[in-house]
Chains A and B, each alone.
Chain A
Amino acid sequence: MATQIIGSTVKRREDPRLITGNGKYTDNMTLPHMAYMAILRSPHAHARIKSIDASKAKKLAGVLAVFTGKDLKDAGINPLPVGWLLPEIKIGPHPALAIDTVRYVGDGVAAVVAEDRATAKDALDLIDVDYEPLPANVDGEKATQGAPQVHAEAANNVAFYFKIGGGDADAALKSADGVIKQRILNQRLVPNAMEPRAAVAHYEPATGQFTLYNTNQNPHIIRVLFALTTGHPEHKTRVVAPDVGGGFGSKIYLYADEIVAYLASKTLGRPVKWTEERSENFKATTHGRDHISDVEVGYKKDGTITALKVKTWANQGAYLSTFAPLIPTFLYAPMLQGPYTIENVFCEVWGTYTNTTPVDAYRGAGRPEATYLLERAVDLVAGAVEMDPADVRKKNLIPAFKENYKTCMAYVYDSGDYPAELEKLLKMVDYPKLRREQQAARKQGKYIGIGLSTYVEITGAAPAQVAVSLGAGAALVESALVRVMPTGKVQVMTGSHSHGQGHETTFAQIVADQLGLNVEDVEVMHGDTDKVPFGAGTYGSRSQPVGGAAVYIATQRVIERGKKLATHMLEAAEADVVFEGGKYFVQGSPSKAVSFGEVALEAHWPRKVPADVELGLEASAFFNPANFTFPAGAHLAVVEVDPDTGKVDLTRYAAVDDVGKVINPMIVDGQLHGGVAQGVGQALWENTVYDENGQLLSGSFMDYAMPIASNLPLYENARIETPSPVNPLGAKGAGETGTIASTPAVANAVIDALKPFGVKHIDLPLTSEKVWRAMHSRVVK
């Protein structure tokens, strides 16, 4: 009997194929007569293109065509779209291949299409581009202070200005017992999905049909954006995102490369494949974070935080990527109240252009920046009032609520019990004992640090009322189609997309649980606009609370449809028929039942139902959520710092999270584990370094330090569940909590370890050298 599949650990059904090398990724796709494309990228951060001479490249045997920005323009292709239009936003046009000017190292300059990959690559070396280098600007704040202009359209390189507040931060700072001012940086990160991007563009001259296979997280959105950019009609466009090896946000956007591949395929009448190299991925795929913030936090002597005032310069890179303006605005500034009762918050943000790779959402997108800043501020207050950081948090946390906590800014939190999360965490690790051990260790010259992070984040984008009021122009919805086959097996089509999250398992669990089937009887399909109904895709931890909710509702509708058929089969009155444990029966007489399978058969090969009853057994549903969902939790990190070298070892990590109703605990644990690793990476190792000329100095894994398993402890984690009232599953998002919470937990732990040295703040990442310098009062560079 298959009941209670929701909430149970079902092994990921996608894993056997993925871990045995049988996944089917874009680069595995080979179409007859396929050609290969390579992109020539700018070696300069900023330069005028005086001329491009591709004559030698065109003569190389095997080269089919060379494209430049002019060819795209002549073909009527528009610049790449910006999908979140803030008021008075200044958009510097982003042609898929540069015209006249290159604006970052990695900007596409020309594309070669050849019979094979190696030839395409060889031909790149034969293209002569005459550049006139221009001075570059790489710093998100200095960009506004007389730096070289990236786009004529944006004076002082300001792409947008945004402010939001609640209460009166200035007045509250004035009347506070104390105010701490701190500059806090949130460094730029490279998402580094395991699979770099790839595209196969297939234009069929006979029909005018175009298919794009590519690494994306949201095929329907890509199709819309693609149609708007190229003018190719949406109904003659199919977008397929097959197996995708991770995205972390970086594969949400419409990129230049697939647009060029489209034109190449259309021009040559052949399928064209482009596969990004890892070193290209470092430069040509979006980056994340990159904030400079000035923070003022006001507090009372008893540790109550009364005001927070923040100025942030958010480096957007050389062009605005598809959703870039959303990240440092609505996903950041209004989240600065966090899980606390702070009544006066004000934040203003300048989104600025620089000669660097465009920045957009990266796992957490805005909330890691807000949470890190806020959690550092809380610890600074704890230091100032000489209270334990746990006590300061207890003092300020919002008490438990079942629904609708109105923050001082835009959002209304759906449900939560933040104090319970912190309590559970402190118990789990025996916090007082930890602190005693820390004291004892210090006496022996060992520097142990304990760091806390209590967070709330925002997931499940996006409800229409809220999104429209915030400038999105529209809601982001999901739909599902649940189709029951004559044998009682079920296909689920979802507009949501899995690139690691495990939809094929969790969405099947929802359906199997409701219909009383085994998970094996349910197949989940996603990632092909010709197969699955509309959906806005997977990002911002929205799949379960929005996509999963749509699947749930469609399944309920299937049950209702089946009930009509069962009523006739049971020769009963519809009102008396119930569905339980995979069977329809008249209330009170379960022994005389028809199974779901029998109903499915009847729906396709009717024997008993009258002619006027609608046949078939399938239903679809759109889910348009009434609010976002707000996962929350409390995390704790323990580190040990080597006083001789400044090296930080993360020795313990514990987490208590509330992601609402959990569909599959193992998958939620997995999401948390991966997320924590990424957040620890930001805290300790990952750093994207440009020199002042805009050259990327950390452009490979030789210099960009990713977290690896041997640097991480085993995680201890637990949950509390406050169901979300926003969707019928009660689910909140679970994809980003680890990333959001762990960076500040680890940073706070390191700075806690350095307390005996009087250290109050060090900027990320907390590299050995920075820590060593801080401990030995050297200038921290």
Chain B
Amino acid sequence: MFPAKFEYYAPKSVKEAVTLLAKNKNAKILAGGHSLLPAMKLRLAEPSALVDVGKIKTLAGIKSAKSGTTIGALTTHATIAASDAIRNHCPAISEAAAAIGDWQVRNRGTIGGSLAHADPAADYPAVMLAVGAEFTAVGAKGARKIKAGDFFKGALTTALKPNEVLTQIKIPAHQPSSGCAYVKFAQPASRFAIVGVCAWVKLDANRNVEKASIGVTGACANATRARAAEKALEGKKPDDAAIKAAAAHSSDGMDCLSDIHASAEYRAHLVSVMTERAMKAAVERAK
């Protein structure tokens, strides 16, 4: 339980953080520490320096605007779970945040840390994909935007460059007659997702599904969209039978993981069960 030696910095601004990251080879950003510190204590990670972004006030907080909701990277899971603004705008995010780990984890862990860490079984990624979130990353050359769809590259791998700080998560504005929901099947030990599914649907004037977007986490090396199921639902009247039929395609083409908690076959099955449940809830909310 003793990490290897490291330097510690607590910058007051994102700019300072970026400079420190550039200066220190193998430096890592420290946010809530709930993924990084365990890895360091087990010596699976041995960064030369920690750049603690926890003192950068501008990184935390939730802002609602017409164009959507902006969540600062340093906002904790607990804050997100308790936010009325987020629940009203996009309840799937609240559901994902509330389902993370336990109170201790939710009180310290941050959304930016979770997304940057990109654990294959983390909850938020499914939601980010389904609702089409957009991330802001700041590096030496300034800020850039990354679409959720371009962000998750593999297990523990994202589009972030080593010296970039993820600063903001933007959830697009609510569209009329749309709804979203996140449903999770938790691994009994870690409580991470064996499978977590977020469904977002928009109904047309006839109450048929105009557009569906489904994000799946836990099943594969990184969170992905269940495109076959989305297609199968679009244009349909979302009754139980149609939802079930569409959900049956949710794991099409997925290369599901297999471990001591769930075989690939079971994971694929859970993807369809969770997709069905998430779709039903999302449709209810869209109505």
Chain A residues with a Cβ under 8 A of chain B: 117-118, 121-122, 125, 277-279, 644-645, 647, 684-685, 687, 689, 697-698, 701-706, 767-769, 772-773, 778, 781
Asked if A121 and B189 sit within 8 Å, CB to CB, the answer is no
- Name the residue on B nearest A776 (C-beta): B269
CB distance from B237 to the nearest CB of A (A): 23
- The interface-forming segment of B126-134, B198-206, B257-265 is B257-265
CB distance from B197 to the nearest CB of A (A): 13
Asked if B2 and A703 sit within 8 Å, CB to CB, the answer is no
- Name the residue on B nearest A121 (C-beta): B2
CB distance from B216 to the nearest CB of A (A): 15
- Name the residue on A nearest B270 (C-beta): A645
Asked if A703 and B190 sit within 8 Å, CB to CB, the answer is yes
B266 interfacial contact with A, CB 8 Å: yes
- Name the residue on A nearest B185 (C-beta): A645
Given the contacts A277-B1, A703-B260, A703-B261, A769 and B266 also touching, CB distance less than 8 Å: yes
Given the contacts A689-B260, A769-B262, A702 and B1 also touching, CB distance less than 8 Å: no
Bound Cα distance A689, B260 (Å): 8
Bound Cα distance A125, B43 (Å): 10
Bound Cα distance A773, B42 (Å): 35
CB distance from A673 to the nearest CB of B (A): 20
Asked if A704 and B189 sit within 8 Å, CB to CB, the answer is yes
Contact with A along B23-37 (1 / 0, CB 8 A): 000000000000000
Contact with A along B181-196 (1 / 0, CB 8 A): 0000101111010000
Given the contacts A117-B2, A122-B4, A781-B263, A703 and B189 also touching, CB distance less than 8 Å: yes
Among B1, B187, B190, B265, the residue within 8 A (CB) of A278 is B1
When distances are taken between beta carbons in the complex, the residues of chain B under 8 Å from A781 are: 263
Bound Cα distance A645, B271 (Å): 10
Bound Cα distance A778, B260 (Å): 17
Asked if B266 and A685 sit within 8 Å, CB to CB, the answer is no
Asked if B190 and A772 sit within 8 Å, CB to CB, the answer is no
When distances are taken between beta carbons in the complex, the residues of chain B under 8 Å from A697 are: 260
Bound Cα distance A121, B188 (Å): 31
When distances are taken between beta carbons in the complex, the residues of chain B under 8 Å from A687 are: 260
CB distance from B99 to the nearest CB of A (A): 12
- Name the residue on B nearest A196 (C-beta): B1
Bound Cα distance A645, B194 (Å): 12
Bound Cα distance A705, B194 (Å): 13
9 A-B residue contacts at CB 8 Å?
Answer: A121-B2, A279-B42, A687-B260, A698-B260, A702-B190, A702-B192, A705-B187, A768-B266, A772-B269
B273 interfacial contact with A, CB 8 Å: yes
Asked if B263 and A769 sit within 8 Å, CB to CB, the answer is yes
Asked if A685 and B273 sit within 8 Å, CB to CB, the answer is no
Contacts A702-B190, A704-B189 supplied; 18 other A-B pairs, CB < 8 Å: A117-B2, A121-B2, A122-B2, A122-B4, A125-B43, A277-B1, A278-B1, A279-B42, A645-B273, A647-B185, A685-B188, A689-B260, A697-B260, A698-B189, A769-B261, A769-B263, A772-B269, A781-B263
Interface residues of B in 35-75 (CB under 8 A from A): 42-43
Asked if B189 and A702 sit within 8 Å, CB to CB, the answer is yes
When distances are taken between beta carbons in the complex, the residues of chain A under 8 Å from B265 are: 778
- Name the residue on B nearest A707 (C-beta): B188
Among A644, A703, A706, the residue within 8 A (CB) of B273 is A644
Bound Cα distance A768, B266 (Å): 9
Bound Cα distance A121, B262 (Å): 35
Asked if A772 and B188 sit within 8 Å, CB to CB, the answer is no
CB distance from A679 to the nearest CB of B (A): 16
Asked if A701 and B263 sit within 8 Å, CB to CB, the answer is no
- Name the residue on B nearest A704 (C-beta): B189
Given the contacts A118-B2, A645-B273, A781-B263, A701 and B190 also touching, CB distance less than 8 Å: yes
Bound Cα distance A772, B265 (Å): 11
Bound Cα distance A685, B185 (Å): 15
Bound Cα distance A746, B43 (Å): 39
Counting chain A CB atoms within 10 Å of each CB, which of B1, B4, B265 scores highest? Answer: B1
Counting chain A CB atoms within 10 Å of each CB, which of B5, B185, B263, B266 scores highest? Answer: B266
Bound Cα distance A293, B174 (Å): 59
When distances are taken between beta carbons in the complex, the residues of chain A under 8 Å from B262 are: 769
Interface residues of B in 148-188 (CB under 8 A from A): 185, 187-188
CB distance from A640 to the nearest CB of B (A): 16
Counting chain A CB atoms within 10 Å of each CB, which of B2, B188, B261 scores highest? Answer: B188
When distances are taken between beta carbons in the complex, the residues of chain A under 8 Å from B260 are: 687, 689, 697-698, 703
Counting chain B CB atoms within 10 Å of each CB, which of A125, A278, A644, A698 scores highest? Answer: A644
Bound Cα distance A121, B4 (Å): 9
CB distance from B85 to the nearest CB of A (A): 27
When distances are taken between beta carbons in the complex, the residues of chain B under 8 Å from A704 are: 189
When distances are taken between beta carbons in the complex, the residues of chain B under 8 Å from A125 are: 43
Bound Cα distance A175, B187 (Å): 48
CB distance from B8 to the nearest CB of A (A): 15
- Name the residue on A nearest B195 (C-beta): A645
CB distance from A238 to the nearest CB of B (A): 29
Bound Cα distance A278, B42 (Å): 10
Bound Cα distance A177, B55 (Å): 76
CB distance from A279 to the nearest CB of B (A): 7
When distances are taken between beta carbons in the complex, the residues of chain A under 8 Å from B266 are: 768-769, 772-773
- Name the residue on A nearest B194 (C-beta): A768
When distances are taken between beta carbons in the complex, the residues of chain B under 8 Å from A684 are: 188
CB distance from A454 to the nearest CB of B (A): 28
When distances are taken between beta carbons in the complex, the residues of chain A under 8 Å from B43 are: 125
Contact with A along B257-287 (1 / 0, CB 8 A): 0001111011001100100000000000000
Which 10 pairs, one residue from A and one from B, show the smallest C-beta to C-beta distance?
A705-B189, A705-B188, A702-B190, A769-B266, A121-B2, A118-B2, A644-B273, A685-B188, A277-B1, A689-B260
CB distance from A741 to the nearest CB of B (A): 22
Bound Cα distance A134, B42 (Å): 26
When distances are taken between beta carbons in the complex, the residues of chain A under 8 Å from B190 are: 701-703
Given the contacts A769-B263, A781-B263, A701 and B189 also touching, CB distance less than 8 Å: yes
CB distance from B221 to the nearest CB of A (A): 17
Bound Cα distance A698, B1 (Å): 18
CB distance from A192 to the nearest CB of B (A): 11
- Name the residue on B nearest A277 (C-beta): B1
Bound Cα distance A702, B273 (Å): 24
Bound Cα distance A705, B191 (Å): 9
When distances are taken between beta carbons in the complex, the residues of chain B under 8 Å from A645 are: 185, 270, 273
CB distance from B190 to the nearest CB of A (A): 4
Bound Cα distance A772, B270 (Å): 10
- Name the residue on B nearest A681 (C-beta): B188
Bound Cα distance A767, B42 (Å): 28
Asked if B189 and A706 sit within 8 Å, CB to CB, the answer is yes
When distances are taken between beta carbons in the complex, the residues of chain A under 8 Å from B270 are: 645
When distances are taken between beta carbons in the complex, the residues of chain B under 8 Å from A278 are: 1
Given the contacts A279-B42, A703-B261, A769-B262, A685 and B2 also touching, CB distance less than 8 Å: no
When distances are taken between beta carbons in the complex, the residues of chain A under 8 Å from B42 are: 279
When distances are taken between beta carbons in the complex, the residues of chain A under 8 Å from B269 are: 772
Bound Cα distance A122, B270 (Å): 43
